[in-house]
Amino acid sequence: MSVITCIEDLRVLAQKRVPRMFYDYADSGSWTESTYRANEADFQSIKLRQRVAVNMDGRSTATTMIGRPVSMPVAIAPTGMTGMQHADGEILAAQAAEAFGVPFTLSTMSICSIEDVAARTTAPFWFQLYVMKDKGFIHSLIDRAKAAKCDALVLTLDLQILGQRHKDLKNGLSAPPKLTLPNLINMATKPRWCLGMLGTPRRQFGNIVGHVKGVGDMSSLSEWTAKQFDPQLSWNDVQWIRERWGGKLIIKGIIDEEDAKLAAASGADALIVSNHGGRQLDGAESSIRALPRIVEAVGDRIEVHMDGGIRSGQDVLKAWALGARGTYIGRAFLYGLGAMGKPGVSRALEIIHRELDLTMAFCGHRELRGVDRQVLLPGTWPSA
């Protein structure tokens, strides 16, 4: 593909270049995938008001997220197994985000470790934490994130149990991939990916293997992780995690106003309106439909961010207009990574930034601070 003009172009290219099990892992939801699809479709139903004969010169999309200056209100979302989309994927994505001036968030379930990313970037990144039963390991993860000078902890609350994702089960998802005949045949059609993986030692969960007693390889890791996600997670856990961390805290996985109020009361600096990309409760409301109610409920007490379904800069502007002061891209950057590595992530960010900038101008604004619901066509956006 000679000209990449939109995120969909990157998706198509990634599908050609990434082995099926890892492409499907990124590009799928749970059960019927209705919430996954709604995250995108509900953005498309929101229409914009075009204004003319206004000064469009000297535009800026710069703002802040939890006090950190950003070139646009977009962060790289934490995604598991990013390093299976492309060799050293987390490192490459972090470097692209740093160059663009937006935050990168590293997942607990990353292939490259906290230390791997810290050693190869200059700007502080954010670390996403899953709460597991092994509290000693959680203490260690928090301390390692501190040592790496991460400047925010993103605490995910909506993965106490794992949603059923049919494609992952059918593909026999694993990292590194199981060398079954179907997998070998599929990987043989992805030579670029295979060469990259042969050239890196990072092919397993770098934050876990070697850091947990008794987990020294992938076979022991599978048994350990199957038992570790904590179904008893509560808001009491948020308190001790916040105290041990001591820095900026973002609560991820809020889709209900009552939970948003608890997040605001917890002392966190921000919350992320999120249904985990449609990968947990299928049939849950889309993030963009839930956003206005949550902003109405707690927007004066805590900074509200959102993720889920963002595939363009127009989506970013719509979320901003509805009160989100930060957005996160997961699949959009993964498509870029799978398609072209680090240049692909940079291209995804460039596309979203250009679309955001032009759309803001067409709606009659030069700066984000003046953008509110007035840029949206009445009756097309979800009310609080």
Catalytic residues: 276
Contact residues for 252 (Cβ-Cβ < 8 A; gap 6+): 78, 128, 154, 155, 156, 157, 158, 271, 272, 274, 307
Listed residue (383, 380, 384) closest to 43, CA to CA:
380
Contact residues for 284 (Cβ-Cβ < 8 A; gap 6+): 35, 255, 275, 278
Listed residue (111, 143, 70) closest to 325, CA to CA:
70
- Which residue positions form the known binding site for glyoxylate? 25, 165, 276, 279
Contact residues for 181 (Cβ-Cβ < 8 A; gap 6+): none
Strands 74-76 and 327-329: parallel
Could you give the C-alpha distances from 379 to 230, 336, 373, in angstroms and in order? 41, 34, 11
Say if residues 217 and 176 touch (Cβ distance below 8 Å).
no
- Which residue positions form the known binding site? 25, 78-80, 107, 128, 130, 156, 165, 252, 274, 276, 279, 307-311, 330-331
Q: Which token pair is 261?
A: 């109020």
CB atoms within 10 A of CB 10: 28
Angle (nearest 5°) at CA 55 between 53 and 57: 135
CA distance 20 to 5: 24
H or E element: which one contains 252?
A: strand 249-254
> What's the full length of the chain, in residues?
384
- Which residue positions form the known binding site for FMN? 78-80, 107, 128, 130, 156, 252, 274, 307-311, 330-331
H runs (alpha helix) in the chain: 7-17, 20-26, 34-44, 89-100, 114-119, 135-147, 166-171, 181-188, 191-198, 218-226, 235-245, 257-265, 287-298, 313-321, 331-340, 342-362
Q: Under DSSP, is residue 144 helix (H, G, I), strand (E, B) or coil?
A: helix
Strands 105-106 and 126-130: parallel
CA distance 215 to 334: 28
